[in-house]
Amino acid sequence: MSAPVAVIPGGTGSVGRCLLPLLLDRGFNVASTYLLPDEATALEDQLDYDEDRLILRRVDVADPEAVNAFFAEAVGAFGPINVMASLVGGWAGGRDVSETDDVRLERMLDLNLRTAWYTTRAAIPHMADEWGRIILMGSKHALDSPAGQAAYNVAKSGVLALAKSVATELLDTTTTCNALLPSVINTDATRAALPYADYVNWPQPAEIADVINFLASEESKVVNGAFIPVWGSALI
């Protein structure tokens, strides 16, 4: 049997750096995107795998043509996709609706909703017949919608609607689609952005990667159209 295939947009971020070794250890061939060259270099230094099992490409995932070209390359190299986990995203807060300018709104839609839309749309035609898993990164804040970050809340709510729509559209296939609901993830970047927050109970990137690793398996086939809380005991 051929090796399973995972395509991980944003795989050089904090969660992706924990997830990719898990998938590679399970025998997956993996294709991942990055934007920051330093992140790609750090990941390459971290991973000790043959180059023919890992593709890293600098891709603007908010550019649909670039996304389509990346997926075509991944499928051409490895074959049909078993797992597509879209990990691209970003947060910007500090603005209520009346104070949110168009630039901030478009930035949140680009980073969170359009990236999920473009990668999911590109993946669907290439999902493997045997089994497939589409995993999107929503947010706890898509449900509780805290004040001061309306653009982010709206974008992540769209991700949940996308996941539910795709799960329904693909009911007659072997592909499932689910979305995770993290709170603020405990990374250096988020601690720097929120220096006075109590981060003790924030979920760790490795903990979220473990959940994705299960969803990225044949054993998760009964989970479809779900919004999966991965915020632990965090309150924000």
Q: Is residue 236 part of a domain?
A: no
Tokens of 141: 């804040």
8-state DSSP, 143: H
Tokens of 150: 């309306």
23 and 233 Cβ atoms separated by less than 8 Å = no
Q: Is residue 84 part of a domain?
A: yes
- How many Cα atoms within 13 Å fall on the side-chain side of residue 35? 15
Domain count, the chain: 1
Q: Is residue 13 part of a domain?
A: yes
- Amino acid identity, position 118: Y
147 and 98 Cβ atoms separated by less than 8 Å = no
Helices 14-25 and 37-46, packing angle to 10 deg: 30
Q: Is residue 234 part of a domain?
A: no
Whole-angstrom distance, CA of residue 99 vs CA of residue 155 = 17
Which pairs count as long-range contacts for 109-114, CB under 8 Å and 24+ apart, including other chains? 109/151, 109/154, 109/155, 109/158, 110/62, 111/62, 111/155, 112/88, 112/152, 112/155, 112/156, 112/158, 112/159, 113/155, 113/156, 113/158, 113/159, 113/162, 114/62
- Tens of pLDDT along the chain (236 residues) come to 689 999 999 999 999 999 999 999 999 999 999 988 888 888 888 887 777 899 999 999 999 999 999 999 999 999 999 999 999 998 777 678 988 889 999 999 999 999 999 999 999 999 999 999 999 999 998 898 778 789 999 999 999 999 999 999 999 999 999 999 998 776 767 666 666 566 667 788 999 999 999 999 999 999 999 999 998 776 55
Q: Is residue 39 part of a domain?
A: yes
Q: Is residue 132 part of a domain?
A: yes
CATH code of residue 15: 3.40.50.720
Q: Is residue 235 part of a domain?
A: no
Q: Is residue 217 part of a domain?
A: yes
The DSSP bridge partners found for residue 84 are 7, 134
Say how many C-beta atoms besides its own lie within 10 A of residue 117's C-beta.
20
Domain hosting residue 187, numbered range: 5-229
8-state DSSP, 149: B
Query: What tens digit of pLDDT does each residue of 62-100 get?
Result: 999 999 999 999 999 999 999 999 999 987 776 789 888
Alpha helices in 79-230 (DSSP H): 102-108, 115-123, 141-144, 150-169, 188-193, 205-215
Whole-angstrom distance, CA of residue 183 vs CA of residue 229 = 9
Whole-angstrom distance, CA of residue 163 vs CA of residue 114 = 13
